[in-house]
A and B are shown apart, each in its own frame.
Chain A
Amino acid sequence: MQSEVERDMSATDSMQAISRDMAIDLVNRSPAHVMLLDAERRVFDVNARSERLLGATTDTLRGSEPSGIFAAILKRIESIGYERAERGFQLQHDGAWYEAQVFTTESSSDAEGREFLVLRATDITDRKSAEFQLLESEARLEEATRIASMGTYKLYWDTQKVIWSHQMYEIHGIAPGSVAPSGDAYNKFVHPEDVSIAQEMVEGLIAGKEITGAEYRIVHNDDRYRWVSVEGRVLFDVDGQPYASFGTVQDVTEAKNREEKLRDLVERNTVLTEALQASPVGVAVLTPDPTGPQIFYVNAALEEMTGFRDGRLLGMSLDSLRGDDTDPIIFGGLVEAIQSSNPMSCELTLDRDDGSSFLGQIELAPISAEDDGSVAAHTLIVRDVTDDRRRTEAMMDAQKMEALGKLSGGVAHEINNLLQPIITLSDLGREACRPDDEKLLKYFEVITGSGRKAREVVRQILTFSRQDAPLIGSHQVEPIVEDALKLAKSGLVPGLKLKCRVEIGGAHALVNPTQVSQVVINLVRNAADAMNGAGTIKLDLVRLSEAEADQAHLKQLDRGWLALSVSDTGCGIDEESRARIFEPFFTTKPVGQGTGLGLSVVYSIVLGWGGSINIDSEVDMGTTAMVYIPEFIEK
């Protein structure tokens, strides 16, 4: 029996030994820090993790007082009592969070059967911080929603339990806490027409969907309804698992009403809006803004005029239309008028989207929409008067030229009468001279010569005044120009080249061949004079496409336009000179080098053909003279 008992005992012993080894092994591999204290509360054993934490081996620690986190645990047991400590607690030590637990155990290996105290501590710092952040963000959101008068809700997916903030009850028109909110019972708050929207939203939330701006109506007990807008986000637990929806509900009734009122206003004013859109005149509505007038509305005509299409001007500053050529003083005046609610009329150069500019005739009028007569906005009416201005200027030019023509024609007539005796009598005087009176012969010769030169000048003036219109007929232009080019080339200094491109085929025009030569030679000579002895003059004679003719502001013809252009890379003509370039006797050339008649003659010749002439120039960059000639097609 004994032996059996002994045998049994030994079996038990060995079983116990194995389980103890396993226990030690388990304890050693535990993620927790474990320490065994003996009855005297001195270290008896620690697991491997604790050795690493304390930086000492079991052997050196045995018999010593517990240190580090273990000392803190012992201290905490004293304050909270053993029983509470046995259920586990959390404590902070040395910047880390620990979850701790204590229990006593009797060790069979201890012959004296002494009671050991086991201290176990698990580092939960990471978990703690995630949990803390979640708590904190929820707290912040709560605070924010409270300030914004938003309701917040939390919907647990597993239990479908719903938690409402204080404001949620108010938004739904009931006393806080008066009902237990739930997903199922929610529909009773919702306007019958909107139930499906709310239903879909709740189902979406439970299914883990995010909700953005779901809008529906809530019916209050007094049957009045309020519009709400709902947001919903998914909440994740500390392990990163989604478990609930959290979100806000905001009362947007005011905004909704405003929106509806505006829509109603727009609908009621459809006819007016359509009228504005169809207006050929540019219309904008501007609102004053501290940063400058803002564009609130533009009609189709203004979008077309400015090239800013598809509502791109909306919300922009008036500065969007300001360009380099915009007069800053007038623009400033316009802004000032808007800010001070005054009307204004002006002409102002404005920029298009593509950088080109147009001349706008602008009428600004304040709109007082409020009952007290205060100004709510301004209408800006814009007409593109670029072409009008160009026409007016062209007309003024033509009138000026006509007046000059009449004047010079009258003057020429007088001078012709005075030149007759000068030429005739000096000529006869020379004949009457004694052949050996060389001095007198010379004098008469000079007088006759000067008289003849004067006659040439007067003939040129008469050409300008168009009192000397030579016969005009249908001529093929290309050969005439080619002939003129030969003459023009021969007159050029060696450093200058003339590069020509004549591509008009057999085009005819109603011209006088001598005049064509005169125009070509005059333009080439002017170009040469501007070039300072070196470089290339370009002469092109082409047929314009319809678009090109349009762009050059030429009137539409059944037949086409021929364009003769002469370009130099010379000194250019400044703005002031350009305005007077066609005036007779106007010259920028040094005294004795030009009569100031060349371009005047060209001008009147070209006008006589029913054509037009335009000079484009930039100082120090060069000049291009464009002569437009109507093509003539014989029937």
Chain B
Amino acid sequence: MGITANVLLVEDSPEVSLSVREILNGAGHSVDEATNGKEGLDKITSGTYDLVVSDIWMPEMDGIALLKEIRGAGNDVPVVVISGGAPNAPLTYTAPLASTFGANAVIYKPFEKEELLKTIDAVMSGETIAPGDSV
């Protein structure tokens, strides 16, 4: 077990939220939740998180907009994007997530428990994982 972190999970699907929370809790991370980008941004602005795990497609404010807001405010909190799409997919903008919008890692749903945890460990150690890189 590596570093334990205070994680904000931004995800509109309750079932995915449950799954991610269970994985993170199981690894000793604490998890706060938001169901869309707007709610997530409010929580980030008011609270302190070690890591943000965010979906992309969400109502009200999507994951891209959230990333822009975070980085626009000069906040460099690590962000792991969990995408339902695929790398380079035009509909989900996953390709430029890291390079343009400043995500620290992108992984694709449905992921394995170990994949998520390894990615989080890596990001917390200061790594950036671009799409196509194997974790």
Instruction: Give residues in A with beta carbon < 8 Å to B.
Output: 406, 409-410, 412-414, 416-425, 427-428, 451, 455, 459, 462, 467-471
Contact = CB atoms under 8 A, between A and B. Distances in A.
Nearest to B89: A467
Interface string B98-128: 0000000000111111000000000000000
B88 interface: yes
B135 interface: no
Interface of B: 13, 15-16, 18-20, 22-23, 26, 57, 84-92, 108-113, 132
A427 B117 CA distance: 14
Q: Which 10 pairs across A and B sit closest by C-beta, in order of nearness?
A: A467-B89, A424-B19, A468-B86, A419-B110, A421-B15, A420-B110, A413-B84, A416-B84, A416-B109, A467-B86
Given A413-B84, A419-B110, A467-B86, A425 B19 contact: yes
Contacts of B89: 409, 462, 467-468
B13 A468 contact: no
Contacts of B26: 428
Given A420-B110, A424-B110, A469 B91 contact: no
A467 B91 contact: yes
Given A418-B15, A425-B18, A467 B92 contact: yes
A462 B86 contact: yes
Contacts of A419: 109-110
Contacts of A469: 87-88
Given A406-B91, A468-B86, 17 more contacts: A410-B91, A412-B86, A413-B92, A417-B84, A419-B109, A420-B16, A421-B19, A424-B20, A425-B18, A425-B22, A428-B19, A428-B22, A428-B23, A462-B89, A467-B88, A467-B91, A469-B88
Contact of A420 (B85, B91, B92, B111): B111
8 contacts: A409-B86, A412-B85, A422-B110, A423-B19, A425-B22, A428-B26, A467-B85, A468-B87
Given A421-B16, A425-B19, A451 B87 contact: no
Contacts of B13: 417, 420
Contact of B16 (A412, A417, A470): A417
A418 B15 CA distance: 8
Contacts of B87: 468-470
B113 A428 contact: yes
B107 to A, nearest CB: 11
A462 B110 CA distance: 13
Nearest to B132: A471
Nearest to B22: A428
A203 to B, nearest CB: 95
A553 to B, nearest CB: 29
